[in-house]
Amino acid sequence: MASFGSGGRARVALDIVAQALARHVPPSATFWCCTSRQLARTTGLPGVSEIMAQVARAGFDRALVQPLHVFPGSEYEQLAGLCRGPAGLRVIVGETLLHRPQYVREALAVVERDFLPPDQGCNLLALHGCRLREHPVNDMYLGVARLVADLYPHVLAAGIEGVPDFQAVSAAMVRRGLAAQYRRVRLV
Protein backbone atom coordinates (compact mmCIF):
# COMPACT_ATOMS: atom_id res chain seq x y z
CA MET A 1 0.00 0.00 0.00
CA ALA A 2 1.46 3.32 -1.03
CA SER A 3 0.25 6.58 0.43
CA PHE A 4 1.61 10.09 0.23
CA GLY A 5 1.72 9.89 4.01
CA SER A 6 -0.44 11.26 6.76
CA GLY A 7 -0.16 12.05 10.40
CA GLY A 8 -2.47 13.30 13.10
CA ARG A 9 -6.18 13.15 12.35
CA ALA A 10 -5.60 12.22 8.71
CA ARG A 11 -3.83 9.07 9.85
CA VAL A 12 -7.23 7.67 10.88
CA ALA A 13 -8.12 7.04 7.22
CA LEU A 14 -4.96 4.99 6.71
CA ASP A 15 -5.69 3.02 9.87
CA ILE A 16 -9.15 2.13 8.54
CA VAL A 17 -7.61 0.90 5.28
CA ALA A 18 -5.03 -1.13 7.22
CA GLN A 19 -7.74 -2.78 9.35
CA ALA A 20 -9.84 -3.68 6.30
CA LEU A 21 -6.79 -5.03 4.48
CA ALA A 22 -5.79 -7.15 7.49
CA ARG A 23 -9.11 -9.00 7.24
CA HIS A 24 -8.21 -10.23 3.73
CA VAL A 25 -4.42 -10.31 3.38
CA PRO A 26 -1.94 -11.82 5.83
CA PRO A 27 0.37 -9.28 7.46
CA SER A 28 3.41 -11.10 6.05
CA ALA A 29 2.19 -10.25 2.52
CA THR A 30 1.43 -6.58 3.21
CA PHE A 31 4.06 -3.86 2.92
CA TRP A 32 3.40 -0.16 3.52
CA CYS A 33 5.42 2.69 2.10
CA CYS A 34 5.24 6.43 1.88
CA THR A 35 5.65 8.28 -1.42
CA SER A 36 6.80 11.50 0.26
CA ARG A 37 10.38 11.32 1.52
CA GLN A 38 9.75 13.97 4.14
CA LEU A 39 6.64 12.22 5.45
CA ALA A 40 8.44 8.87 5.29
CA ARG A 41 10.96 10.25 7.79
CA THR A 42 8.13 11.57 9.97
CA THR A 43 6.03 8.39 9.88
CA GLY A 44 8.92 5.95 9.96
CA LEU A 45 7.60 4.21 6.84
CA PRO A 46 10.08 3.27 4.13
CA GLY A 47 10.05 4.92 0.72
CA VAL A 48 8.97 3.19 -2.48
CA SER A 49 12.45 2.01 -3.56
CA GLU A 50 13.17 0.62 -0.09
CA ILE A 51 9.88 -1.26 0.04
CA MET A 52 10.44 -2.81 -3.41
CA ALA A 53 13.77 -4.16 -2.16
CA GLN A 54 12.08 -5.51 1.01
CA VAL A 55 9.41 -7.27 -1.07
CA ALA A 56 12.08 -8.95 -3.21
CA ARG A 57 14.12 -9.95 -0.13
CA ALA A 58 10.98 -11.50 1.38
CA GLY A 59 10.94 -13.91 -1.57
CA PHE A 60 8.07 -12.46 -3.58
CA ASP A 61 8.34 -12.41 -7.38
CA ARG A 62 5.23 -10.27 -7.93
CA ALA A 63 3.93 -7.15 -6.20
CA LEU A 64 0.74 -5.16 -6.52
CA VAL A 65 1.25 -1.56 -5.46
CA GLN A 66 -2.09 -0.04 -4.50
CA PRO A 67 -1.81 3.73 -4.35
CA LEU A 68 -4.09 5.49 -1.91
CA HIS A 69 -4.20 8.59 -4.10
CA VAL A 70 -7.57 10.08 -5.06
CA PHE A 71 -6.78 11.27 -8.61
CA PRO A 72 -4.24 9.91 -11.12
CA GLY A 73 -2.15 13.08 -11.06
CA SER A 74 1.55 13.82 -11.07
CA GLU A 75 2.14 12.17 -7.66
CA TYR A 76 0.55 8.97 -8.99
CA GLU A 77 2.75 9.08 -12.10
CA GLN A 78 5.84 9.61 -9.95
CA LEU A 79 4.86 6.59 -7.86
CA ALA A 80 4.38 4.45 -10.97
CA GLY A 81 7.83 5.50 -12.14
CA LEU A 82 9.38 4.52 -8.80
CA CYS A 83 7.75 1.09 -8.82
CA ARG A 84 10.36 -0.54 -10.98
CA GLY A 85 11.39 -3.27 -8.60
CA PRO A 86 14.66 -5.18 -8.52
CA ALA A 87 15.33 -7.73 -11.26
CA GLY A 88 12.95 -10.65 -10.95
CA LEU A 89 10.17 -8.66 -9.27
CA ARG A 90 7.12 -8.00 -11.45
CA VAL A 91 5.27 -4.90 -10.22
CA ILE A 92 1.72 -3.87 -11.11
CA VAL A 93 0.48 -0.44 -10.02
CA GLY A 94 -3.23 -0.28 -9.15
CA GLU A 95 -5.67 2.51 -9.95
CA THR A 96 -6.51 5.55 -7.86
CA LEU A 97 -9.86 6.10 -6.16
CA LEU A 98 -11.19 8.20 -9.05
CA HIS A 99 -9.27 6.63 -11.93
CA ARG A 100 -12.37 5.88 -14.03
CA PRO A 101 -15.57 7.85 -14.72
CA GLN A 102 -17.79 5.32 -12.93
CA TYR A 103 -15.58 5.65 -9.84
CA VAL A 104 -16.22 9.41 -9.86
CA ARG A 105 -19.99 8.86 -9.87
CA GLU A 106 -19.72 6.25 -7.10
CA ALA A 107 -17.66 8.64 -4.96
CA LEU A 108 -20.11 11.50 -5.60
CA ALA A 109 -22.97 9.27 -4.41
CA VAL A 110 -21.14 9.01 -1.08
CA VAL A 111 -19.91 12.61 -0.86
CA GLU A 112 -23.31 14.11 -1.71
CA ARG A 113 -24.54 12.98 1.70
CA ASP A 114 -22.42 15.81 3.13
CA PHE A 115 -23.84 18.46 0.78
CA LEU A 116 -26.07 21.13 2.24
CA PRO A 117 -29.58 20.80 0.80
CA PRO A 118 -30.44 23.44 -1.85
CA ASP A 119 -32.68 25.32 0.59
CA GLN A 120 -29.85 25.64 3.14
CA GLY A 121 -26.83 26.67 1.12
CA CYS A 122 -24.26 26.18 -1.57
CA ASN A 123 -21.48 23.58 -1.57
CA LEU A 124 -17.92 23.92 -2.81
CA LEU A 125 -16.22 20.61 -3.55
CA ALA A 126 -12.47 21.01 -2.98
CA LEU A 127 -10.31 19.14 -5.49
CA HIS A 128 -6.58 18.59 -5.04
CA GLY A 129 -5.62 20.16 -8.36
CA CYS A 130 -2.38 20.08 -10.30
CA ARG A 131 0.12 22.90 -10.73
CA LEU A 132 1.31 21.50 -14.04
CA ARG A 133 -0.84 23.21 -16.67
CA GLU A 134 -0.28 20.58 -19.35
CA HIS A 135 -0.90 17.54 -17.13
CA PRO A 136 -3.75 15.30 -18.39
CA VAL A 137 -5.30 15.07 -14.90
CA ASN A 138 -6.46 18.68 -15.34
CA ASP A 139 -8.99 17.40 -17.89
CA MET A 140 -10.31 15.14 -15.16
CA TYR A 141 -10.59 17.99 -12.66
CA LEU A 142 -12.45 20.10 -15.21
CA GLY A 143 -14.69 17.13 -15.99
CA VAL A 144 -15.54 16.62 -12.32
CA ALA A 145 -16.30 20.34 -11.97
CA ARG A 146 -18.61 20.17 -14.98
CA LEU A 147 -20.25 16.97 -13.74
CA VAL A 148 -21.09 18.36 -10.29
CA ALA A 149 -22.36 21.62 -11.81
CA ASP A 150 -24.62 19.62 -14.14
CA LEU A 151 -25.84 17.19 -11.47
CA TYR A 152 -26.31 19.56 -8.56
CA PRO A 153 -27.63 23.11 -9.01
CA HIS A 154 -26.05 24.25 -5.74
CA VAL A 155 -22.62 22.58 -5.96
CA LEU A 156 -19.40 23.82 -7.57
CA ALA A 157 -15.89 22.39 -7.57
CA ALA A 158 -12.54 24.16 -7.35
CA GLY A 159 -8.96 22.95 -7.29
CA ILE A 160 -6.65 23.92 -4.46
CA GLU A 161 -3.95 24.09 -7.14
CA GLY A 162 -4.44 24.45 -10.87
CA VAL A 163 -7.87 24.30 -12.51
CA PRO A 164 -10.66 25.02 -11.96
CA ASP A 165 -9.34 27.80 -9.78
CA PHE A 166 -11.22 29.70 -7.11
CA GLN A 167 -11.52 32.87 -9.19
CA ALA A 168 -13.32 30.95 -11.96
CA VAL A 169 -15.61 29.25 -9.46
CA SER A 170 -16.32 32.56 -7.70
CA ALA A 171 -17.30 34.09 -11.07
CA ALA A 172 -19.53 31.08 -11.78
CA MET A 173 -21.25 31.56 -8.41
CA VAL A 174 -22.05 35.15 -9.35
CA ARG A 175 -23.07 34.23 -12.91
CA ARG A 176 -25.39 31.43 -11.73
CA GLY A 177 -26.89 33.64 -9.03
CA LEU A 178 -25.61 31.43 -6.22
CA ALA A 179 -23.68 34.24 -4.52
CA ALA A 180 -26.88 36.28 -4.15
CA GLN A 181 -29.07 33.29 -3.29
CA TYR A 182 -26.92 31.67 -0.60
CA ARG A 183 -25.25 33.14 2.46
CA ARG A 184 -23.93 29.79 3.60
CA VAL A 185 -21.28 27.79 1.72
CA ARG A 186 -20.07 24.38 2.84
CA LEU A 187 -16.58 23.28 1.85
CA VAL A 188 -16.62 19.55 1.08
Identify the pLDDT of residue 42: 81
Domain boundaries 2-93, CATH class: alpha beta
pLDDT of res. 139: 93
Domain ranges (residues) in the chain: 2-93, 101-187
The predicted model scores a pTM of 0.79
Domain 101-187 in the same topology as domain 2-93 = yes
Cα–Cα–Cα angle for 91, 96, 142, rounded to 5 degrees: 140
> What is the dotted CATH code of the domain comprising 101-187?
3.40.50.1400
Q: How far apart are CA 102 and CA 149, in angstroms?
A: 17
From CA 101, how far away is CA 123, in angstroms rounded? 21
Q: Which amino acid is at 50?
A: E
Is there a contact between 85 and 52 (Cβ–Cβ < 8 Å)? Answer: yes
**Sign, Cα dihedral of 51, 57, 60, 62:** positive
Q: Could you read off the pLDDT of 11-31 as tens digits, one per residue?
A: 787 788 889 988 998 888 899
DSSP letter at 90? E
Return the C-alpha torsion angle 31, 35, 37, 43, nearest 10. -50
Provide, rounded to the nearest whole percent, the portion of the chain with pLDDT above 90: 56
Q: Which residues of the chain have pLDDT under 50?
A: none
